[in-house]
């Protein structure tokens, strides 16, 4: 197809924001006539794209660096080595990209909100310099809880399982709206959240507290609320990981899991949250790299399965939004095919966005070869590009300036009202599991505390860790606190040090993180109990830890170790607020998994 240049002014004049559902950005449903008129405008943009530009719209790769045009020399070298270019601006120009994804830490994309805004504006300048100048749909994984990309400066909110414990649709929707509002201020308009997986396997190594819980109906209600919150804020929400990753014992980053649910079990356990998301008007759904024989007996990974993506998700569930693959660098989708074939097969299965290919050049040219060879038609490309342009249009990227301003960032990101709302939400999620002889709240005379135990680093800042942050929270409440981080695998010397530190304290608060039958954290808790000093246990991630800790007089769950959750837990322990969370999952006995130790819905108050 001839590639005719299209000015940005022409694009902006030819498109308007059109909400696609009641849960969408504008809060109205597009009539068939309005939708047809919108699609006609968007098809005019597509008609001016070359095949190469259309293929580029499908890809959402990673890149290194905190600047679009002048990253550090170290990041330029990494980009050159892995991507064949020095900057993301060059990457966009080379592959006509429709979007990119930001990560913190290893890619060095995120330092603080102002820097993110500058990076975003640089990405958009590069996108608008393309022969067909369509703004980028910039993506991120900002689930909150254990999975956070933008930390310092942005509002931190409770994660999915904590919100599930709060049982409040209003809180879930508010959390999504706050997060979405801050992301939109940064120019990030696609968030790969919420997680719609139902965590029915306590040993799930990858979903776990990223899920709202184990009850499909409740998970569906929370997913729909979060979708509404995000999309009211102008951000494309993404329910993941279809057709459901909640009952796996393997991590699809490293293996190809198998879901053994029957079709009836899938309909009852896995499908409801995705149905709820679709009913709420979710704009995108992410695939899972796993096998579901009940849905596709060929055992193709769901990401590459026409029966699952086209047959189930599109035809049965009626979803016509953007299907985005989970990261294509994950082992679960690379077990059978080469990196040039995986994106081709994903498109043929029904996917639209191709996330995080391990080698963008191999993936891009694999799709290009498939189009030129007739394996993928240009009409099929147009279908996916149209879906992607619809969500760009809906997010406002095609109807006004895609740039953001530092003034808006300063006004919105981390706003005091957002932080106060996050703190109140977190207080309603902290869950009290055990309170023997009214061990909690701490009594007036219990002023000298030891905070000890596992101390995972904050998701986006490894200079801040759980134990000292929790101690600081108690200090700010007027306690005299000492602290000792013993880690997830304390040796005998570290346990002895903790026992010695407990002497002379009025109470010990011990944190745990993912306790199992062989965990040395069990020894630490047991030895602390033997000191006779009152012990309060706080599971800073999994609610299942308590099953391995006999004799603890007081036990709570915060579901994560971010500052907002730790401070809420401290206020609950101190009696400044009542514990209100209810377990969103059952906790089985460690020695007899068939017996439930704490049922879903369990959660004590100080009046019990």
- Catalytic sites, residue numbers: 253, 326
β-bridge partners, 538: 511, 556
Which strand (E) or helix (H) includes residue 101?
strand 101-102
Strand segments (E) across 445-534: 448-453, 457-458, 461-465, 480-485, 507-512
- CA distance readout (Å), 150 to 68, 75, 114, 158: 18, 19, 11, 14
Taking the alpha carbons at both ends of the chain, their separation in whole angstroms is 72
Alpha-carbon span 414 to 116, nearest angstrom: 14
Alpha-carbon span 456 to 453, nearest angstrom: 10
- Strand duo 554-557 + 431-435: pairing: antiparallel
Q: How many CB atoms lie within 10 A of CB 576?
A: 12
β-bridge partners, 150: none
Q: How many CA atoms lie within 13 A of 43 on its CB side?
A: 8
Alpha-carbon span 352 to 55, nearest angstrom: 10
CA dihedral over 191, 194, 197, 199, signed as positive or negative: positive
Please give the distance of CA 569 from its chain centroid, rounded to a whole number.
22
Q: Tokens representing 298?
A: 């060929």
Alpha-carbon span 259 to 589, nearest angstrom: 24
Q: How many CA atoms lie within 13 A of 319 on its CB side?
A: 34
Q: How many CB atoms lie within 10 A of CB 44?
A: 14
Alpha-carbon span 123 to 109, nearest angstrom: 12
Alpha-carbon span 408 to 411, nearest angstrom: 5
Question: Helix, strand, or coil here: 147?
Answer: strand
Contact 49, 3 (CB under 8 A): yes
């Amino acid at each position: 197809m001839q590639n005719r240049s299209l000015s940005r002014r022409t694009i902006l004049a030819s498109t308007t924001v059109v909400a696609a559902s009641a849960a969408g950005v504008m809060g109205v449903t597009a009539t068939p006539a309005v939708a047809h008129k919108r699609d006609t405008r968007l098809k005019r943009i597509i008609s001016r794209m070359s095949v190469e530009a259309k293929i580029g719209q499908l890809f959402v790769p990673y890149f290194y660096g905190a600047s679009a045009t002048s990253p550090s020399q170290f990041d330029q070298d990494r980009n050159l080595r892995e991507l064949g270019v020095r900057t993301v601006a060059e990457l966009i120009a080379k592959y006509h990209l429709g979007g990119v994804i930001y990560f913190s830490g290893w890619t060095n994309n995120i330092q603080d909100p102002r820097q993110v805004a500058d990076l975003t504006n640089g990405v958009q300048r590069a996108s608008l310099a393309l022969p067909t100048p369509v703004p980028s749909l910039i993506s991120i994984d900002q689930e909150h809880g254990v999975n956070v990309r933008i930390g310092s400066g942005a509002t931190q909110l409770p994660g999915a399982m904590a919100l599930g414990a709060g049982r409040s649709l209003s809180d879930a929707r508010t959390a999504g709206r706050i997060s979405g509002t801050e992301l939109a201020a940064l120019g990030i308009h696609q968030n790969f959240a919420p997680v719609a997986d139902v965590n029915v396997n306590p040993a799930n190594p990858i979903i776990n507290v990223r899920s709202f819980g184990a009850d499909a109906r409740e998970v569906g209600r929370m997913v729909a609320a979060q979708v509404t919150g995000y999309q009211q804020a102008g951000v494309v929400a993404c329910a993941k990981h279809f057709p459901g990753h909640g009952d796996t014992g393997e991590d699809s980053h490293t293996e190809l899991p198998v879901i053994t649910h029957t079709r009836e079990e899938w309909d009852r356990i896995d499908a409801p949250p995705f149905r709820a998301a679709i009913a709420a008007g979710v704009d995108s759904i992410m695939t899972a790299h796993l096998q579901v024989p009940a849905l596709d007996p060929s055992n193709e990974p769901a990401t590459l399965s026409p029966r699952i993506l086209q047959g189930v998700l599109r035809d049965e569930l009626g979803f016509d939004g953007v299907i985005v693959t989970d990261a294509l660098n994950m082992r679960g989708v690379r077990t059978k095919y080469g990196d040039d074939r995986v994106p081709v097969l994903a498109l043929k299965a029904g996917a639209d966005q191709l996330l995080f290919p391990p080698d963008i050049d191999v993936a891009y040219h694999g799709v290009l070869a498939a189009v030129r060879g007739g394996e993928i038609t240009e009409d099929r490309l147009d279908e996916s590009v149209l879906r992607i342009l619809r969500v760009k249009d809906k997010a406002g990227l095609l109807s006004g300036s895609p740039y953001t301003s530092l003034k808006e960032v300063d006004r919105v990101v981390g706003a005091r009202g957002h932080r106060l709302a996050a703190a109140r939400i977190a207080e309603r999620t902290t869950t009290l599991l055990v309170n023997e002889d009214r061990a909690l709240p701490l009594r007036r005379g219990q002023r000298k505390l030891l905070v000890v135990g596992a101390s995972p680093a904050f998701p986006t800042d490894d200079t801040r860790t759980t134990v000292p942050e929790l101690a600081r929270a108690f200090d700010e409440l007027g306690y005299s606190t000492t602290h000792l981080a013993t880690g997830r695998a304390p040796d005998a010397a570290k346990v002895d040090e903790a026992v010695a530190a407990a002497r002379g304290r009025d109470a010990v608060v011990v944190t745990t993180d993912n306790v199992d039958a062989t965990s040395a954290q069990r020894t630490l808790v047991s030895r602390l109990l033997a000191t006779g000093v009152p012990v309060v246990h706080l599971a800073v991630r999994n609610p299942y830890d308590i099953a391995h800790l006999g004799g603890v007089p007081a036990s709570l769950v915060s579901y994560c170790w971010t500052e907002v959750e730790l401070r809420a837990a401290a206020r609950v322990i101190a009696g400044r607020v009542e514990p209100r969370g209810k377990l969103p999952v059952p906790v089985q006995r460690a020695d007899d998994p068939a017996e439930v130790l704490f049922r879903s819905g369990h959660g004590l108050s100080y009046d019990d």
